[in-house]
Amino acid sequence: MEEQDVPLPAGGRVLVVDATDARCYPLPSAALRDAGEHDRVYIRPGIYEDKVFVSDRPVWLIGAGRDQVQIYCRRGGPLYLQRVSGGRIAGITFRYVGSDQHAAMNVLDATCVISRCRAMEGILSGVILYGPECRVTFSENEVCRNRESGIFVFAGAQPRVADNRCFENHHFGIAVRDEGSLPEIVRNQCDSNMLSGMLLFHHAGALLVDNVCRDNQQWGLVMTPDAHSTPALSELPGMNQLAANPRGACTITDEPLSEIGR
């Protein structure tokens, strides 16, 4: 997206981030500190070492494209959203390059849209969506090469997770845990993950429609007996493409994490 294409409501400004231009903000976090309710932050192509933390307000953070803008952090996850009440984050790669247990994107009880981004190299899952008020729309993103799962939904979150690709993660492409967690998981592709494409466990539920899980190391979908899906387990292979995995489409087990010692 170009600067002139950033949607702007009446009375708002576009705050531009460009570390090579002294007329602009050097870092996304600096622009966000100055941004008002109706302002948009636009990030020009570049690699920025930064930590973006937004709490109790809307956020509009638009990058030139996930292949052109990277925000990385060594001392924590590069993106942390807490009770964000609206807005959009788009066109950015978030990369964690430290050694402690952090995710690339942390989203607690937020209701914004995150689209066309990339989350990679988290020591935990790449993206964690959590909290009973989490209603974020997470769509058209790439989530890859994280040390645990790609997207992890837990603690009662009910996000919409749609049209993402989750690949080459060390555990699952998408995992859902805990009673009350009930995401809509539609039209995602989970491939080349080191365990199975998707996991529902510990009383979790999910709507699973039109997803493709293929070429993972184990199953298309793993569920524990206390988890539940819509449609029912017997109907899932007809509503999703789950078969093209070495162990098959679906399985139910009491110990979904036994092969990683948990």
> Is the confidence at residue 2, as pLDDT, over 80?
no
Rounded mean pLDDT, 66-77: 97
- Kindly list the distances between the CA atom of residue 110 and the CA atoms of 53, 58, 134, in Å, as whole numbers in the listed order: 13, 9, 5
**Angle, alpha carbons 95-201-94 (nearest 5°):** 10
Rounded mean pLDDT, 109-133: 97
Q: What is the largest CA-CA distance in the chain?
A: 60
CB of 173 closer than 8 Å to CB of 188: yes
Task: Give the start-end residues of each E strand in 124-247.
Answer: 127-130, 137-139, 142-144, 151-154, 160-162, 165-167, 174-177, 184-186, 189-191, 198-201, 205-209, 212-214, 219-223, 228-230
Mean pLDDT of the chain: 95
State the residue for tokens 């995995």. Answer: 245
* Segment holding 239, helix H or strand E: helix 236-239
Tokens of 136: 């974020």
pLDDT tens across 133-177, in order? 999 999 999 999 999 999 999 999 999 999 999 999 999 999 999
**What is the residue type of 88?**
R
Domains and CATH numbers, the chain: 3-260 (2.160.20.10)
Rounded mean pLDDT, 199-222: 98
